[in-house]
Amino acid sequence: MKIDLPEPAPREDRLARHLFVGADVDEQTLEEVRQVLLQKRQFDLGMYKDACIRRRIAGRVRARGFQQARAYLDLLAVDEEEVTALMSAMTIHVSQFFRNPSTFDVLREEVVPEMFRRLRREGQRELRVWSVGCAGGEEPYSVALLMEQLVPPRMRYSILACDITPVVLEKAREGLFDGPRLTHVPDELRDRHFSLEEGRWRINERLRSKVKFCTHNVLSDEPYSEADLILCRNVLIYFSRPDQARVLERFAAALPENGVLVLGRAETLSGSSREQFTVHNPAERIFFKRGCAER
Ligand SMILES: C[S@@+](CC[C@H](N)C(=O)[O-])C[C@H]1O[C@@H](n2cnc3c(N)ncnc32)[C@H](O)[C@@H]1O
């Protein structure tokens, strides 16, 4: 039996169907995009990993229906919404309540109770938390849920949660989450602190008021220098090695002696920060700031 194969498409059609991919983003396009984000959003792409950026730019070029970069760059020059969309595409905002639950188990069972005891011995009343790269708020609200269980009488806690992307912070302030984000929240906690609104879970006003959200670029803005506990999880992976080391050194400088740093499961100390922390739990990436005498 003879099978009729379709004629090959004319060359122009084949070219026209070419999917714009990361490899098509040349040096000049990269530099122009970098300048737009720097000038319009004070966001420095120079600090992010190259291949990752090219893929994401290509994703936006395709999303706007272009097959070459020039037309996209022209749009970027005049369309503020596209600048925002590109900014958002550059950063990944995936998160979940109690992401990596075993990390929160160690915080609940060992780290946070000891921090409250130590602060009390030192005559302090407040445990201050800084969540860096907090995305939609799942991480700082998880800490708030944890603190509600652990805070001793006459002690309190505060949480500052920062991210570079304003749109995710708006969502975080709303405190409204799809069910799968709450997979690791025990039913009892969920029923106590959330209410159902048209199929989504809203964290209650009391806990929302415990978390202050702010826009902050951890690579270039001053660190929060009051924190006793810093969580910076799944953020450093997007930075180059020298920038990771620089951010970690700033955390070390900002934390007091015995202050606690929690990184993501795929992240670790680098540069001179290695001498400034002791490893409390290697698997959960929990580190304690050394005192001057120990270094
Ligand atoms: C994958 S999410 C991590 C969310 C949460 N920490 C967690 O582990 O589930 C990474 C977040 O880091 C933020 N981010 C990326 N670069 C940043 C920077 N330079 N300064 C502050 N936040 C940044 C992104 O906007 C994104 O929301």
Q: Please state the domain extents for the chain.
A: 22-91, 101-289
Tell me if the pTM is above 0.75.
Answer: yes
Q: Establish whether domains 22-91 and 101-289 are of one fold.
A: no
Distance 163 CA to ligand 1 centre (A): 6
Cβ(108)–Cβ(149) below 8 Å: yes
Instruction: Select from 44, 86, 91, 143 the residue to mutate for testing ligand 1; criterion: most ligand atoms less than 8 Å from CB.
Output: 91
**216 with 162: CB under 8 angstroms?**
yes
Residues of the chain with pLDDT under 70: 1-17, 46-47, 293-295
Residue 7 has what pLDDT? 53
Model pLDDT, residue 3: 46
Domain 101-289 has CATH 3.90.1150.10: no
Sign for the CA dihedral angle at 28, 29, 33, 39 comes to positive
| Digit-coded pLDDT (tens) for 187-239 | 999 999 999 999 999 999 999 999 999 999 999 899 999 999 999 999 998 88
Q: Is the CB of 91 under 6 A from ligand 1?
A: yes
Separation between Cα atoms, residue 206 and residue 72, nearest integer Å: 45
234 Cβ inside 6 Å of ligand 1: yes
Q: Which CATH class is domain 22-91?
A: mainly alpha
- How far is residue 295's CA from residue 293's CA, in Å, rounded to a whole number? 6
